Amino acid sequence: MNLIDYATILIRRGWIMLLLGVIAAGAAFFFSRGMEPVYRATQKVLLVPSRSDFGLTQAAKQTLNNHVAWLDSSLRAAEVIDELQLDMIPQALRADVRIAPDLDSLLIQIDAESKDADQAARIAQKWGQLLVEYRNDLNQQARREDRIEASLQDEPLRVRARPNIPINTLVGLLAGVFIGGIIVFVLEYLESAIVRRREDIETAAGIPVLASVPPGD
């Protein structure tokens, strides 16, 4: 098949792909609109060595993973629950929180998800404050020149985590068009043995058609 044949197929059956794409996009849109939104709040905790020499900076980087391990525990979750008076168990709260280090920026990022945007922000901020208090306790046992200060970089950033209606709608559109393309391919394959044009006979037989007899009345 050449490009003209493909173009002919698209002109003749392209409506199937378009229709399925529109249906799938509409279904994804309305399904996403019906879902209860979940919000994500991001709190960043910055670690600042008291001096900028290589040794202390490397030590600060090495402690990032330790701090993440200390934060990502049911004990910290229980503290947050007690402080904020949340009606949930520590394991459930931990499932909604992600804690990750950024070695290049010397910070720890805390992402908390909740159906309440304000609650997500309070959880992320409180979790970050636990690290600040923990670092303050450690600094009391260290010399001033060896201390690593921790501080909240900013107020928690709140975003709608899911559902992402534009993305879901686009994915639905592409999925519908793809499925429509498969259907078009199957239909063309099933009808490939049907002779419709003079060119079909010439292609199948490998010889030119010199004349044709019109159908009788």
Domain ranges (residues) in the chain? 3-34+165-203, 38-162
Question: What Cα–Cα distance (Å) separates residue 132 from each residue in 41, 45, 107, 153, 182?
Answer: 18, 8, 12, 11, 56
**In this structure, which topology does domain 38-162 adopt according to CATH?**
Alpha-Beta Plaits (3.30.70)
**pLDDT computed for residue 206 by the predictor:** 59
**pLDDT computed for residue 196 by the predictor:** 55
**pLDDT computed for residue 124 by the predictor:** 96
Peptide bond between residue 163 and the one before it cis (omega within 30 degrees of 0)? yes
CA angle 50, 110, 131 (to 5 degrees): 45
Burial class, 143, CB count within 10 angstroms (exposed 0-12 / middle 13-18 / buried 19+):
exposed
**pLDDT computed for residue 203 by the predictor:** 62
**pLDDT computed for residue 126 by the predictor:** 96
* C-alpha to C-alpha distance for 121 and 133, rounded to whole angstroms: 18
DSSP-assigned states of every residue in 198-216: HHHHHHHHSS-----PPPP
Q: How confident is the chain (217 residues) per 10-residue block, as mean pLDDT?
A: 71 88 94 92 91 78 89 94 94 94 90 95 96 90 84 91 92 94 85 60 59 58
Residue 67 near residue 149, CB atoms below 8 Å: no
**pLDDT computed for residue 14 by the predictor:** 86
Task: List the helix and strand counts (H, then E) for the chain.
Answer: 7, 5
**pLDDT computed for residue 201 by the predictor:** 60
**pLDDT computed for residue 202 by the predictor:** 58
Phi-psi region of 43 (alpha: psi -120 to 50; beta: other; left: phi over 0): beta
